[in-house]
Structure 1
Amino acid sequence: MSKEEKIKILSIEPIKSLDYIKGYKISYLTKSGKPSTWELASRGNLARLENEIYRGKRYTDGAMIFAVDAEKEKVVLLKEFRVSAGRYVYSLPAGLMDPGESIEETAVREFKEETGMAFKPVYTDRSRYVSVGLVNECVNIVYGYYEGEPSRDFLSDQEDATAFVVDRNQAKKLLDHEEVTARTAYLIQHFFKLNPFLDGQA
């Protein structure tokens, strides 16, 4: 993709139905017995939602990849144009699981597609909700090591992203001056000890 080829927002309009996301209304009783409802968006079908709510079953939709160098001094981030925000946002590489994949296979494939680099998974955290007030999407964070140099050669036409390998100083500048997603911000703050409150500096 050349520098001139950019994603362009054409319009914004409300819609009553979606092609890729399903909407659900959950009816429930409050603690005092008052009827109420909750609206939810999901990639999954009704059976999945019922299994989650009624039977406590756990699912995962994909992987978020925390890739570092051998010395654990640098981490790979993506600067990606996000249509939902209308701007470039920094985040960790991530992607949805394909049918039949393990979560580690998803992490390796998505990391290659988004960054052009190889990824060696070492530790996989359990699946966790990403924004439980709005969606029931769950992801696993997969930790490991990267190899190679960043490349845009494997991006699809729908992706406008550039991978960066950042150290502590670069991470601090991004957190101070750029749009960084909440989950990514927390993880790199913890990794580089950049949160003054949590690290005892405030």
Structure 2
Amino acid sequence: MKKFEEKTIHSERLYEGKVINLKVDDVTLPNGKQSKRELIEHPGAVAVIALTGEKKIIMVEQYRKALERSLVEIPAGKLEPGEAPEYTAMRELEEETGYSADKLEKVISFSTSPGFADEVVHVFFASGLHRAVNDAVTDDDEFVELLEVTVEEAQGMIDNERIFDAKTAYAVQWVKNYLSDKN
């Protein structure tokens, strides 16, 4: 048995969407009492830390409806059914930035909001960047602006909340450590 496991008694899917599904589970708690859990099912995502030869981080600025404002983020995207995270990472890098990478290394995977969602983000480091054959080709409903920023500029964006998501804040810290290890 898993420590503090909550056993599902009944599960009801309330919504099936393009990106997420919403369900409500009735569970038995470790103390025998019952409760409800509102849960979001997500197929998972990738995020790419792409660093140029000039030690600039490739980022994109885009509008995020959930927060009603634009954010600066590292390139990222949703896993498609049957798609390996490495493939998704390369695809998203090219689609959002117009860059391709010679090398892709797995950095970490983590849960974004385990209290209510099962989404896991797989973070990759892309090196040996070069312009892809095609320029950035975003989805029909995606509008992004490409940015190349230094670590110092990225830290300033965290401080003034232009960078406001966990994956990008993590990426900036990772690049700081990576570059300090190289010196």
Q: So what's the TM-score if we normalise by structure 1?
A: 0.69
Contact 1:152 1:162 (8 Å CA) reproduced: no
- Offset at residue 79 of structure 1 (A): 0.9
Q: Any unmatched runs of 5+ in structure 1?
A: 1-15, 45-60, 194-202
The separation in 1 between residues aligned to 2:131 and 2:109, in whole angstroms, is 28
Aligned to 1:19: 17
- Offset at residue 64 of structure 1 (A): 0.8
Which 4+ stretches in 1 moved above 4 angstroms? none
The separation in 2 between residues aligned to 1:65 and 1:27, in whole angstroms, is 37
Secondary structure, counterpart of 1:156 in structure 2: coil
Contact 2:86 2:104 (8 Å CA) reproduced: no
- Offset at residue 87 of structure 1 (A): 0.9
Contact 1:41 1:135 (8 Å CA) reproduced: yes
The separation in 1 between residues aligned to 2:101 and 2:66, in whole angstroms, is 28
Secondary structure, counterpart of 2:92 in structure 1: helix
How many corresponding residue pairs? 160
Contact 2:108 2:124 (8 Å CA) reproduced: no
Aligned to 2:78: 96
- Offset at residue 129 of structure 1 (A): 1.5
- Offset at residue 18 of structure 1 (A): 4.9
Q: Any unmatched runs of 5+ in structure 2?
A: 1-13, 178-183
Aligned to 1:115: 97
Deviations 1:110-168 (A, max 9, x none): 1111111112343114543221112111121111213239x974123311111211112
% identical aligned pairs: 26
Secondary structure, counterpart of 1:159 in structure 2: coil
Q: What letter is aligned with 2:24? A: K
Deviations 1:79-114 (A, max 9, x none): 111122221011111112234432211111111111
The separation in 2 between residues aligned to 1:68 and 1:40, in whole angstroms, is 35
Aligned to 1:28: 27
Aligned to 1:37: 36
Aligned to 2:166: 182
Higher strand share: 2
**Map 1:52-201 → 2, pairs under 5 A:** 61-70=44-53, 73-125=55-107, 127-145=109-127, 146-148=129-131, 153-180=136-163, 181-192=165-176
Aligned to 1:11: none
The separation in 2 between residues aligned to 1:187 and 1:159, in whole angstroms, is 22
Contact 1:152 1:161 (8 Å CA) reproduced: no
C-alpha root-mean-square deviation of aligned residues, in Å? 2.5
The separation in 1 between residues aligned to 2:138 and 2:56, in whole angstroms, is 23
- Offset at residue 63 of structure 1 (A): 1.3
